[in-house]
């Protein structure tokens, strides 16, 4: 008997996505909801109706997105390439302003303050960014971490003042035990995973409130990726973290809430397991099941 291939399921990537209103989810009795609710800290960032346009583009790169970012949680932004998630991430500390022709509507509040009213250097100390590729400075391990501290000091601090803060940042980044005996080693001689943790330590040295991570493991091997993911779990105790990732398994491992974006729209936002196991929007279901993207 001739064997026929299984039918091909085709998913339309055109048309307007059906965006799920979070308030439309099934109600859970209040006592149960309180018992099940994670104990998140205060809201650190509020993304309020944010739209981002690039000059010459027919539609916005980000379209009227509203999201909370709370201390003690990891918010994972997922979606196919070009959906607006990295653009949204870069807007949170106003890096998107560096792109010629980019404009933003809506508000971003940091601890209740409009980020547009904050001095840019102060904002980026409070909302630090980790990029896709590790970018240590061509200097020693010690000086990489100390650089950020020196930049915010009114007077140039001496090594005796810097040493405890450098050690604290390296410990929080899970790197201290590997480099403590040779802090004068050039940072560029570290492995890729160590370099990324050094960049995290450099960001942590200025004691930010929010950590933005743009695919921080995309250039790393699986072992280094696991180390970074474990570090993310530890850091969320004292920080709010927003991570962009194309890796759905990673989003499920590290995220407390997940926001799925498509063509600039926020299609669905939900607790991680709920979004992956019981998505409300058809397009979310198709994406997490691998039907497109």
The stretch 250-275 carries a mean pLDDT of: 97
The stretch 83-105 carries a mean pLDDT of: 95
Q: What is the pLDDT of residues 130-163, one digit of tens each?
A: 999 999 999 999 999 999 888 776 567 778 889 9
Q: Taking a C-beta distance cutoff of 8 angstroms, is the pair 148, 164 a contact?
A: no
Q: Which residue stretches of the chain are H helix?
A: 30-36, 85-91, 120-126, 141-152, 159-172, 176-179, 192-204, 222-235, 248-254, 272-277, 282-288
Give every CB contact of residue 94 below 8 A, 6+ residues apart in sequence.
115, 116, 120, 123, 124
Give every CB contact of residue 195 below 8 A, 6+ residues apart in sequence.
134, 136, 187, 188
- Rounded distance between C-alpha atoms, residue 259 and residue 19, angstroms: 11
Predicted local distance difference test score (pLDDT) of residue 81: 92
- CATH number for the domain whose boundaries are 37-135+213-288: 3.40.50.300
Q: What is the pLDDT of residues 184-213, one digit of tens each?
A: 999 999 999 999 999 999 999 999 999 999
């Amino acid at each position: 008997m001739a064997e026929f291939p299984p039918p091909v399921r085709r998913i339309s990537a055109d048309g307007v996505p059906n965006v799920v209103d979070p308030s439309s989810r099934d109600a859970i009795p209040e006592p149960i909801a309180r018992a099940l609710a994670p104990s998140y800290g205060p809201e650190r960032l509020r993304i309020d109706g944010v739209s981002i346009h690039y000059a010459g583009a027919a539609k916005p790169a980000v379209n009227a997105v509203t999201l909370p970012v709370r201390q003690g949680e990891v918010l994972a932004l997922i979606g196919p390439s070009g959906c607006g998630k990295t653009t949204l991430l870069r807007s949170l500390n106003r890096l998107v302003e560096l792109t010629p022709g980019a404009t933003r509507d809506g508000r971003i509040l940091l601890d209740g303050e409009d980020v547009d009213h904050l001095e840019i250097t102060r904002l980026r100390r409070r909302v630090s960014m980790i990029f896709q590729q590790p970018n240590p400075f061509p200097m020693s391990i010690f000086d990489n971490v100390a650089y950020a501290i020196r930049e915010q000091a009114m007077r140039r601090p001496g090594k005796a003042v810097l040493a405890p803060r450098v050690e604290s940042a390296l410990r929080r980044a899970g790197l201290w035990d590997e480099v403590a005996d040779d802090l004068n080693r050039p940072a560029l001689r570290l492995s890729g995973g160590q370099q990324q943790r050094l960049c995290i330590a450099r960001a942590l040295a200025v004691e930010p409130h929010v950590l933005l991570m743009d695919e921080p493991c995309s250039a790393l091997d699986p072992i280094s990726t696991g180390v970074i993911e474990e570090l993310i779990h530890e850091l969320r105790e004292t920080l709010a973290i927003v991570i962009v990732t194309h890796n759905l398994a990673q989003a499920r491992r590290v995220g407390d809430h997940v926001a799925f974006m498509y063509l600039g729209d926020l299609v669905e936002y939900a607790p991680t397991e709920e979004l992956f196991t019981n998505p409300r929007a058809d397009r979310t279901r198709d994406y997490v099941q691998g039907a497109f993207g």
